[in-house]
Amino acid sequence: MAPSRDVAIVAFAQSDHRRRTDELSEVEMVMPVLHEVLRRTGLKTADIGFTCSGSSDYLAGRAFSFTMALDGVGAWPPISESHVETDGAWALYEAWVKLLTGESDTALVYSYGKASPGSVRDVLSRQLDPYYLAPLWPDSVALAALQAQALIDAGDTTEAELAAIAARSRDAATTNPHAQLPGARPHGDHVVAPLRTGDCPPIGDGAAAVVLAAGDKARELCERPAWIRGMDHRVEAHALGVRDLTDSPSTRLAARRAGAFDRPVDTAELHAPFTSQEVVLRKALDLDDSVRVNPSGGALAANPVMAAGLIRLGEAAARVHRGESDRALAHATSGPCLQQNLVAVLEGESHVR
Amino acid sequence: MSGKEPVAVVGIGQTKHVAARRDVSLAGLVREAARRALDDAALDWADIDAVVIGKAPDFFEGVMMPELYLADALGAVGKPMLRVHTAGSVGGSTALVAAQLVAARVHGTVLTLAFEKQSESNAMWGLSLPIPFQQPLLAGAGGFFAPHVRAYMRRTGAPDTVGSLVAYKDRRNALKNPYAHLHEHDITLAKVQASPMLWDPIRYSETCPSSDGACAMVLTDRAGAARAPHPPAWLHGGAMRSEPTLFAGKDFVSPQAGKDCAADVYRQAGITDPRREVDAVEMYVPFSWYEPMWLENLGFADEGEGWKLTESGVTELDGDLPVNPSGGVLSTNPIGASGMIRFAEAALQVRGQAGEHQVEGARRALGHAYGGGAQFFSMWLVGAEPPTT
């Protein structure tokens, strides 16, 4: 179903993603990114109709962590604002719906994550069923390894193919000045078999922001807006034992609802923190070799948790802005082994003005 | 099609709020409220297009992003599920996000739910942030809000007893609400006034309890409302506003974000004189004195006059502006759900389904929630008739 209103991503900014940012608070990490994304549009905080952010208290280690980050926005006079406790891609979704109602013409969306203060592998295990699974502390790499092994057992991939995905991603990241892991590096030993160091995302801190605008406002703010032709998200069952980990029906359904299969895309930014998850997503999305997958390097090159999904939407949009893509797919994920997935289709107008 | 789709509340469900629901898991708790909302709407899980869920900090139950684990219990598998977190206002914000999915015609029928199972931890200390995030001066939300209550008293010259009147009223109203947590059958004004001082000037009986509970609503479009077995509540206006926690010149007694939020809601609903045009108010009063403070902030009384409405009985169940007929947050407080309970109770009033705490002839009611350092506000105004614009 086509959206009831034309809404576009008109600007994107992100931090340089780094292993540690001990010297920065969340506000200090977010603020330069917010300033940059607003500068690109010439808008001020007071011009923005709606603001929405995504983050997690479990990364910050304190309740209501997002309340302090609001200081980076400068919410005075008071602003119309909301927050999702998940990846910023879902904050973008909430803001998009707000613009579809016609109540606002512009929205600022941001998200951030500092994974460095804690052990993110263990922290993410707190997302699991608190009665049956979380007490066993299965960490995020171990769960991804189960998925990878299921793919190998099903004949969907090999360790060599996974290594090639890692190499391609980090090679692509050499042209991404914000990437944490640009360029070739040793694939390393098994972290949890069959996943090796190179198959896993870097741990790090970072932030991202986009500006959305509707109709003529979008054309006014951006030379070539990245129009959101469709966006949808779906969740799967939580228990890994009842899911086919080699497939992602929620991604496929979200893509269909977003209109991704109506015409081929030329670019796809996939939120696949592990190499094996790119295999699952390519299958669910019917992506062949004609599609440029993760030209930014993807989450394998920089994975600030809670921002990495929003960055996929931002990277895809930036390619449309620069005229390097006419129709791009952006994907974000949340939860263990791709439990929840969001797909957006972004297009530039056929003629570059 | 142009313009927004009208949004109707056709199903409401709550759990019986108590100090500890040891008989159910988190999943069991939320499913109970959701099932009751579906039953009220005469719908089943398959009729729901999307689920929007809210709760306050994940640390309260020790589960990070619990919506992932709750997807199955809420029938969300294969559907969109969105998690909202805007501090204490979250229950209200969650309902508004769900309403927007209908208003934008993205979905026809949406289940929205908010919960907190506070017995899984200690909410008071969960709200007391450790060093280095905060100076070690505060114990719980009461420690944060007590100075602002004192500032209100000093500013308005309100007599010391006003807070106890609010608590006495709300606890008696709760006796008429079967879902309320506190049912203090032997409550007297003297007992409220003799209860121990916790955070001066806030006494023990003037504070909210810590509850386990969930609240759910089914929101739908015009076609869905036409199929509903019971009268719907119609959304006439809804808004959120935020301001920073601390800044020079912030008015903690009557925050600008609250005033702006109310003004936006009244504008959408075509209300020019809220005191005359609103029949019932469910406002977020976690500490008794916030009733007179919010009466002013929401435009029901002039500045400095709110306490006079309380003192003269205007806000009693049989007064001409009943406030918190359900017993309010002072009688029931599963934090993440408290805002949605306000929104749902406002809807119950205009549907004529509030039972013993029904306000006679209520046609328009306001639901209000706030959170953080009196900085996040969400409100909706619902009516018995569909919106005309």
pLDDT digits (tens, 9 = 90+) for A288-336: 999 999 999 999 999 999 999 999 999 999 999 999 999 999 999 999 9
A333 near B CB under 8 A = no
Q: Residue A122 — pLDDT band, cuts 50, 70, 90?
A: very high
Burial class (CB in 10 A: 0-12, 13-18, 19+), B132: exposed
Q: pLDDT by residue (tens digit) across A152-189?
A: 999 999 999 999 999 999 999 999 999 999 999 999 99
pLDDT of res. B125 = 72
Are A84 and B78 in contact (CB < 8 Å)? no
Half-sphere exposure in the Cβ direction for A73 (13 Å, CA) = 35
A58 touches chain B (CB under 8 A): yes
The arithmetic mean of pLDDT across residues B319-337, rounded, is 97
What backbone phi and psi angles, to 5 degrees, belong to B196? Answer: -60, 145
Report the SS3 class of residue B267. Answer: helix
**Mutation choice for A interface testing from B29, B55, B84 by most A CBs within 10 A:** B84
| DSSP H/E element including B367 | strand B364-371
Percent helix, strand, coil in chain A, to 5, is: 40, 20, 40
The answer to whether residue B135 scores a pLDDT higher than 80 is no
- The interface predicted TM-score (ipTM) is 0.97
Q: Please tell me if the domain spanning A7-118+203-221 has the same topology as the one spanning A120-202+229-347.
A: yes
Parallel, antiparallel or unpaired: strands A226-235 and A205-214: unpaired
Q: Does the beta-carbon distance from B64 to A90 stay under 8 Å?
A: no
Residue B130's pLDDT is 64
Could you tell me if B44 lies within 8 Å of chain A, comparing CB atoms?
no
Distances (CA, A) of A118 to A19, A61, A121, A190, B132: 12, 8, 9, 22, 15
Mean pLDDT, residues B179-186 taken together: 98
**CA-based nearest residue to A238, from A340, A145, A341, A329:** A340
Rounded Cα distance between B339 and A106, Å, is 27
Mean of the per-residue pLDDT values of chain B: 95
Q: What is the pLDDT of residues B359-383, one digit of tens each?
A: 999 999 999 999 988 999 999 999 9
Yes or no: domain A120-202+229-347 corresponds to CATH 3.40.47.10: yes
The pLDDT of residue B134 is 59
Note the pLDDT of residue B136.
52
pLDDT class of A353 with cuts at 50, 70, 90: very low
The whole-angstrom distance between B27's CA and the closest CA on chain A is 10
Across the interface, of B68, B106, B376, the residue whose CB is closest to A340 is B68
Domain boundaries, chain A: 7-118+203-221, 120-202+229-347
- Say whether residue A93 is in contact with chain B using an 8 A CB cutoff: yes
From A90, which residue of chain B is nearest by alpha-carbon distance? B82
Instruction: Tell which B residues from 253 to 312 touch A, by Cβ distance under 8 Å.
Output: 255-257, 260-261
Asked if the model's pLDDT at residue A238 lies above 60, the reply is yes
* Interface contact A134-B63, CB threshold 8 A: yes
For a pLDDT cut of 90, what percent of chain A falls above it? Answer: 93
- For residue B111, give Cα distances in angstroms to B31, B44, B231, B264, B276: 11, 11, 18, 25, 32
| pLDDT for residue B246 | 87
Per the CB < 8 A criterion, the answer to whether A207 and A21 are in contact is: no
Residues of A in contact with B78 (CB under 8 A): 234-236, 249-250, 253
| B97 contacts in chain A (CB < 8 Å) | 82, 94, 97
pLDDT of A351 reads 55
Residue A80 to chain B, least CA–CA distance (Å): 5
pLDDT tens string B288-319:
999 999 999 999 999 999 999 999 999 999 99
The answer, as to whether pTM is greater than 0.90, is yes
Q: Please report the DSSP string for B17-70 in residue order.
A: -BS--TTS-HHHHHHHHHHHHHHHHT--GGG--EEEEE-S-GGGTT-SSTHHHH
Look at chain B and count its residues: 389
The percentage of residues in chain A with a pLDDT greater than 70, rounded to a whole number, is 99
Cβ–Cβ below 8 Å for A79 and B243: yes
pLDDT band at A63 (very low <50, low <70, confident <90, very high): confident
Q: pLDDT tier at B185 (50, 70, 90 boundaries)?
A: very high
Tokens of A179: 């990437």
- Which pLDDT belongs to residue A352? 47
Q: Residue B82: closest CA among chain A residues belongs to which residue?
A: A90
Tell me A109's DSSP state.
E
Each residue's pLDDT tens digit, B201-236: 999 999 999 999 999 999 999 999 999 999 999 999
| CATH level 3 topology of A7-118+203-221 | Peroxisomal Thiolase; Chain A, domain 1 (3.40.47)
Domains along the sequence of chain B with CATH: 8-119+210-227 (3.40.47.10)
A67:B245 CB<8 A: yes
Question: Taking 80 as the threshold, does the pLDDT of residue B27 lie above it?
Answer: yes
How many residues are given for chain A? 353
Q: How confident is the model at residue B33 (pLDDT cuts 50, 70, 90)?
A: very high
Q: Can you tell me the mean pLDDT for A252-270?
A: 98
Strand B364-371 relative to strand B376-383, pairing: antiparallel
Q: Do A81 and B84 touch (CB under 8 A)?
A: no
Report pLDDT for A221. 98
CA distance A155 to chain B (A): 26
Residue among A64, A237, A336 whose CB faces B87 most closely: A64
